[in-house]
Amino acid sequence: MRAFMGIPYALPPVGELRFKSPVTHPGWQGERLVIKDAPICMQRDPFRRDMLIEGSEDCLYLNVYTPEILTSEPKATLPVMVWFHGGGWQCGAGISTFYGPDFLLDHDIILVSANFRLGPLGFLSTETLDCSGNWGLKDQLEVLRWVRTNIASFGGNSSSVTVFGESAGGASVTYHMLSDKSKGLLHRGIAQSGTYFNPWAQPAHKGVAAKRATKLAELVGCSGLHKQKQDWSSKLKCLRSIRAEDIVAALYDMFIWDFDPMIPFPPVIEPPHKEAFLTLMPRNVLKPHGLELPLLLGATSEEGLLKTAALLNLPQLMQEFKTQFDRVIPIVLNYDHHDIAKQMEITRQIEHFYFKTGHNYNKSNHQNLTDLISDGWFVAGIDEYLRLRLDQQKSDGVIGPTYVYLFDHKGSASFSEIFKGDRNEFYGSCHAEELQYLFPIGRELFVSAIPTVKDLQLRKIMLQSWVNFASTGNPNPSNSSILKNLPTWLPSTRYPVEFVRLGSKMDDDDEVQQLFRLEAKLMQHRVDFWRELKPHVPSNTHFHHAHTDL
């Protein structure tokens, strides 16, 4: 393959360009050396409970990977896959040591991966035109514009661009399928473990982002510069002069309990202006343009291990979680903006559904606890996005095909290790688990883990399915030996959802057919609970479903 690494797509967002939309890079004269990764965007990783601050504010670069020799018939242009990484819009990077091309470039595609601003540097908002926010999403938009302008020079087809991502990257995909700014820049989407309906991905309620901006200014010593509370100009001038490391360090002071709320600086609703990426709450956009595009989306079976792996292995944290459950769970699941009475009603219903026998969960008996976090953080929001597409299809039919999967596999290594799980324990298919089957990320994270035969088979199935979808909008094979003996992956056309279960947790399953099974009713009992969850309020009081407001 050929790798073009560290290509600048925007000017460094430093000094006066901090907390502003990206400025398109003007290019350069002559040759530029592009043989190594650019620095990652400055960040602090709360998911690993990491105290380290790393990266650079000068980080708006992308990598392009192309085949050196085509393995199929020569084509004028190749399908393009643009990867947006996860990490809660707080950490992660698009560099080769995280998301290298080693597996995907066995196929004839162009792969683009990119850095974008993170944390307060990427999403701080005053909710005014002074600092409207969504800088990280606007960086992604600039990447898509760069691809449209330049990818033909690398052999890519600018009319065949699939944007794919995981977690916050998956939610980013759905945001680009929502924002009119991105219309025409992508032609298919793959959203892994994230949509904008997930509570951590939704825009904060009005006033929350401004309060957090105020708190950040106070934390770094930029609050006492002007007597008027709403005068942001002096505060922002100060914030642009503060060391980036100090701003990123303050992220940890925004958490209320443990590392929650999960994402203190999510996307925001901006006041209308020329550069605005998002001006309406997603539920108020009647028909997002992305509904007409083909979509592949899904989840892992135990997403919630992102949180519960630490609970199960840090006794003091678990004790606090159990003894302060009524206070903690509204913070963890993002419904602490309700009044106390509503919070308690929601909490009681959650307890009745998941913990009928009490809070007796532990390392050997954690499934209901993990399911709770899985559903509250991921599954309910993914289900709501599926309902949006399928309901629209039912009403007018002008909807792209929707392919759904559930990753449910026991491999030689698990991401639960990264989130403070016990290396010798298998808790389930953790959040981010499927990444090691699309990228050689395990090479850095799980050095001693040797992939099993099943792991290698599943890798081939997923890579071929993802590439087929990126090429044609259909994950099924045209000439793939690994997929030809498997059932046809049908798009889901109605509710309850039809899906493919990818992987196997059975140690004695050696048949490739066991790694790819057609099923229906994706976690139906659990998603029905979240759809119907609401506190008991007087009949004359209007109240949205709880997960609508989470």
DSSP string of 49-88, one letter each residue:
T---EE-BS---EEEEEE-SS-SSS--SSEEEEEEE--ST
Q: Considering the candidates 85, 409, 431, 547, report the single residue annotated as catalytic.
A: 431
Q: Around Cβ 418, how many Cβ atoms within 10 Å?
A: 19
What CATH superfamily is the domain 299-533?
Answer: Alpha/Beta hydrolase fold, catalytic domain (3.40.50.1820)
Relative to beta strand 43-44, strand 78-84 is unpaired
Rounded CA gap, 396 and 219, in Å? 51
Instruction: Look up residue 549 and give its two tokens.
Output: 């407001």
Q: At the top level of CATH, which class does the domain 2-293 belong to?
A: alpha beta
- Closest to 462 in 3D by CA, of 411, 393, 390: 411
Question: Would you call 167 a catalytic residue per the annotation?
Answer: yes
Task: Give the pLDDT of residue 537.
Answer: 39
Rounded CA gap, 296 and 373, in Å? 23
Sheet holding 498-502, edge to edge: 2-8, 61-66, 110-114, 78-84, 156-166, 188-192, 295-300, 402-407, 498-502, 516-520
**pLDDT per position in the chain (550 positions), as tens?**
999 999 999 999 999 999 999 999 999 999 999 999 999 999 999 998 888 999 999 999 999 999 987 666 556 699 999 999 999 999 999 999 999 999 999 999 999 999 999 999 999 999 999 999 999 999 999 999 999 999 999 999 999 999 999 999 999 999 999 999 999 999 999 999 999 999 999 998 899 999 999 999 999 999 865 555 558 999 999 999 999 999 999 999 999 999 999 999 999 999 999 999 999 999 999 899 999 999 999 999 999 999 999 999 999 999 999 999 999 999 999 999 999 999 999 999 999 999 998 999 998 899 999 999 999 999 999 999 999 999 988 777 789 999 999 999 999 988 888 887 777 789 999 999 999 999 999 888 887 789 999 999 999 999 999 999 999 999 997 777 778 889 999 999 999 999 999 999 987 666 777 999 999 999 999 999 999 996 543 333 333 333 434 4
Question: Would you call 21 a catalytic residue per the annotation?
Answer: no
Instruction: Look up residue 93 and give its two tokens.
Output: 């990077």
Q: Around Cβ 502, how many Cβ atoms within 10 Å?
A: 23
Give Cα separations from 239 to 15, 210, 236 (angstroms). Answer: 10, 14, 5
Task: Give the pLDDT of residue 413.
Answer: 87
Please check whether the two domains, 2-293 and 299-533, share a CATH topology: yes
Question: Would you call 431 a catalytic residue per the annotation?
Answer: yes
Task: Give the pLDDT of residue 76.
Answer: 63
Residue for token pair 């899904």: 298
Q: Indicate the angle between helix axes 208-219 and 232-239, nearest 10 degrees.
A: 50
Q: Which contiguous run of DSSP H or E holds residue 3? A: strand 2-8
Q: Considering the candidates 21, 167, 471, 504, report the single residue annotated as catalytic.
A: 167
At 430, the amino acid letter reads C
Q: Considering the candidates 57, 142, 302, 303, report the single residue annotated as catalytic.
A: 303
Task: Give the pLDDT of residue 550.
Answer: 41
Task: Give the pLDDT of residue 549.
Answer: 43
Rounded CA gap, 206 and 198, in Å? 17
Residue for token pair 């290698």: 456
Instruction: Look up residue 334 and give its two tokens.
Output: 């993002």
Write down the domain spans for the chain: 2-293, 299-533
